[in-house]
Amino acid sequence: MQRIYNFSAGPAVLPRDVLVQAADELVNWQGCGMSVMEMSHRGKEYMGIQAQTEADLRELMAIPAHYKVLFLQGGASSQFAMVPMNLLRGRASADYLNTGEWSKKAIKEAKRFGNVNVVASSEDRNFSYAPGQDAWRLDPKAAYVHYTPNETIGGVEIFWTPETGNVPLVADMSSNILSRPIDVSRYGLIYAGAQKNIGPAGVTVVIVREDLIGQCMPAAPVMFDYKTHADNDSMYNTPPTYGIYIAGLVFQWLKRQGGLGTIERRNIEKAQVLYDYLDSTQFYRNPVERADRSRMNVPFTLHDAALDEAFLKGAKERQMLQLKGHRSVGGMRASIYNAMPIEGVRALVDYMREFEKRNG
């Protein structure tokens, strides 16, 4: 069957090979006579799937042994609350970097649990850049420092790892996890909703240093305490089994591609094709400072917004979908996650060029 090029910001494109394998195994997983969806999460088949999924993620990201990997639910949005509930540990405040819509949401939620010190903000220039570390006003007594290394809506990505001394660094990697190698040991906690670069919506991955677990606010529900999930291998309650299985297939696909080094090279090339074209014309515009341009989410506007509808219609006729920008910024957004092949990006640029010729 013909597949379209899906530029959705999330839920987003998955590797075709993964979908084909999942379809093949849907009704009868590896000869066991039932679907993964129908398995007890306490049975040996499913426990094997989840253990393999975790092992593959650990291998891909080189996660050190003193970190726990948790498969939770509730999306990154629940982590906006779970992080302060678990990591404030009696301290008065936490540091947050404000680089856009997702940072703002994380900050707003954290304020329900403690004081928030905004170390720096790019709101002065409409969130079009990442404030350099020299501009951050870090509090050495902060419980942790939170930042959003890829702002999915604004298309701003931070390619360097902030230096926070002994204060644990926390990252919302929902939209750039697994897009390049990172040094996990520099972080206290990393979280990501699955539906951008991992798998289907419904799974949230949390990677947390063990010493940060166990000091949750006493009033927190058991389900919001990392210790509950860490002590029970993410099986305190029923985990999102089918989503974890698909995430596992994505991890195996990433390993077959050659791991995150190879994926990073591809992502650089894909982003380059699109940004090079955007920079070569006045017809389209990307507002983000060059050094901070996201490799995953590329927002752009047409010089005349009255052409937006025609642009989207033409894209659809050419099998390119979900290019409409976020409602808060308008214009277009091309999300080009790991599973988007370079052919998709080339097809988009060819179409953009043709559209410019006709309307420029």
- Contacts with ligand PLP, residue ranges (CB under 6 A): 10, 75-77, 102, 148, 152, 172, 174-175, 193, 196
Residues 6+ apart with CB under 8 A from 52: 248
Going by their DSSP bridges, the two strands 189-193 and 169-172 should be labelled as parallel
Any bridge partners for residue 333, and if so which?
299
Report in angstroms how near the CB of residue 27 gets to ligand PLP at its nearest: 29
CA 23, CA 40: separation in Å to the nearest integer? 20
Collapsed DSSP state (helix, strand, coil) of residue 36 = helix
CA 38, CA 26: separation in Å to the nearest integer? 10
Of 56, 95, 172, 292, which one is the catalytic site residue?
172
Of 68, 104, 196, 270, which one is the catalytic site residue?
196
- Decide if 279 is catalytic: no
Q: Which is nearer to ligand PLP, 188 or 243 (CB)?
A: 243
Any bridge partners for residue 150, and if so which?
157
- Decide if 17 is catalytic: no
Q: What is the DSSP letter of 299?
A: E
Of 95, 102, 225, 292, which one is the catalytic site residue?
102
Q: Which is nearer to ligand PLP, 177 or 278 (CB)?
A: 177
Nearest Cα neighbor of 148 from 169, 120, 173 is 173
CA 116, CA 77: separation in Å to the nearest integer? 17
Q: What is the DSSP letter of 143?
A: S
- Decide if 196 is catalytic: yes
CA 120, CA 131: separation in Å to the nearest integer? 7
User: In sequence order, what DSSP letters do the residues of 93-126 get, joined into one string?
Assistant: EEEEEE-SHHHHHHHHHHTTTSEEEEEEE-GGGT
**283: amino acid identity, one letter:** F
- The answer to whether the peptide bond before residue 149 is cis (omega within 30 degrees of 0) is no
Q: Which residue is nearest to ligand PLP (CB)?
A: 75
SS (H, E, C) 163-199: CCCCCCEEEECCCCCCCCCCCHHHCCEEEEECCCCCC
CB 170 within 8 A of CB 119: no
Going by their DSSP bridges, the two strands 156-157 and 150-151 should be labelled as antiparallel
CA 171, CA 174: separation in Å to the nearest integer? 9
State the catalytic residues: 102, 172, 196
